[in-house]
Copies of this chain bind each other. A is one copy, B any other.
């Protein structure tokens, strides 16, 4: 089996940064880091001892694997701009099908780490699920090995399932975070420190982890307590928050009390 050694990163955003750092630590050879933004290319390249590049034409043809890790909306554009490469070309998107890369290389694949990333917060990949996909068994093995170096949770998943998973992740991560955010704003207006909610947030997440979240739902809507719900609606002055409160409480009431 071919072992991946030389890697090119196309993109220097949150996911690319964390992946490149982790692979560099595992002694993979990061040849180049491409970013349209010179500053981003320089910053990441310096950290992983790679060459920073800002033009797609400068990308080498010869690497074992090209990891295209750019924003979802940019991926189709990049794909058509990338020349045919000799190595395996993969993207890191939960949303896009493997086929977004089919014009780039016959050897294409997906390496999707299911996590929320920031450039600044270093990630321990060990428990992060990697969903991998490739067009042939040989490349699937290569990706399995590569992801396996970073994490113990590697699974083969097709594009259709990955897309569903990505949608579910938007609810579980982005939208739950937005609920925290609304809570933070409500408290801020009354000068109550957000810190006070942290044990509650931790416990809610911990419960979802240990049991099914549908079974651990609590609160006034879960109990169908109209009086509390109506009073809360009266307390909320912001129109967007009112809409949000109304629709979520209504759905919880419907699920548990009808």
Where the two chains meet, the residues of A that have a C-beta atom closer than 8 Å to any C-beta of B are: 14, 71-73, 95, 114-118, 121, 123, 127-129, 153, 155, 161, 163-165, 167-187, 190, 192, 194, 196-205, 207-210, 212-214, 216-223, 225-228, 231-232, 235-236, 240, 243-245, 247-248, 251-252, 254
For residue A177, which residues in chain B have a CB less than 8 angstroms away from its CB?
Answer: 176, 204, 207-208, 213, 216-218
Question: Smallest Cβ distance from A138 to chain B, in angstroms?
Answer: 25
Q: How far is the CA of A95 from the CA of B251 in the complex (A)?
A: 21
Question: Smallest Cβ distance from A86 to chain B, in angstroms?
Answer: 30
Interface hub of A180, A184, A221 (most chain B Cβ within 10 A): A180
Q: Is the CB of A180 within 8 A of B176?
A: yes
For residue A116, which residues in chain B have a CB less than 8 angstroms away from its CB?
Answer: 200, 203-204, 207, 216, 218-219
Q: Is the CB of A164 within 8 A of B192?
A: yes
Interface hub of A168, A208, A240 (most chain B Cβ within 10 A): A168
A–B pairs, 16, beta carbons within 8 Å: A95-B220, A95-B231, A115-B200, A116-B203, A117-B218, A127-B199, A168-B197, A169-B197, A173-B201, A174-B217, A176-B180, A176-B201, A180-B208, A181-B213, A194-B212, A243-B247
Q: Is the CB of A204 within 8 A of B173?
A: yes
Q: Which residue of chain B is the closest to A191 with respect to CB atoms? A: B161
Q: Is the CB of B121 within 8 A of A207?
A: yes
Question: Smallest Cβ distance from A40 to chain B, in angstroms?
Answer: 16
Which 9 A-B residue pairs are closest in the complex by CB-CB distance?
A174-B219, A180-B213, A205-B205, A172-B183, A176-B176, A168-B183, A176-B179, A171-B183, A168-B186
Q: How far is the CA of A95 from the CA of B226 in the complex (A)?
A: 13
Q: How far is the CA of A243 from the CA of B240 in the complex (A)?
A: 14
Q: Is the CB of A228 within 8 A of B72?
A: yes
Q: How far is the CA of A198 from the CA of B153 in the complex (A)?
A: 12
Q: Which residue of chain B is the closest to A252 with respect to CB atoms? A: B178
For residue A221, which residues in chain B have a CB less than 8 angstroms away from its CB?
Answer: 170, 174
For residue A219, which residues in chain B have a CB less than 8 angstroms away from its CB?
Answer: 116, 170, 173-174
Once A72-B220, A121-B207 are accepted as A-B contacts, the answer to whether A235 and B180 lie under 8 Å apart by CB is no
For residue A173, which residues in chain B have a CB less than 8 angstroms away from its CB?
Answer: 197, 200-201, 203-204, 218-219
Q: How far is the CA of A155 from the CA of B193 in the complex (A)?
A: 12
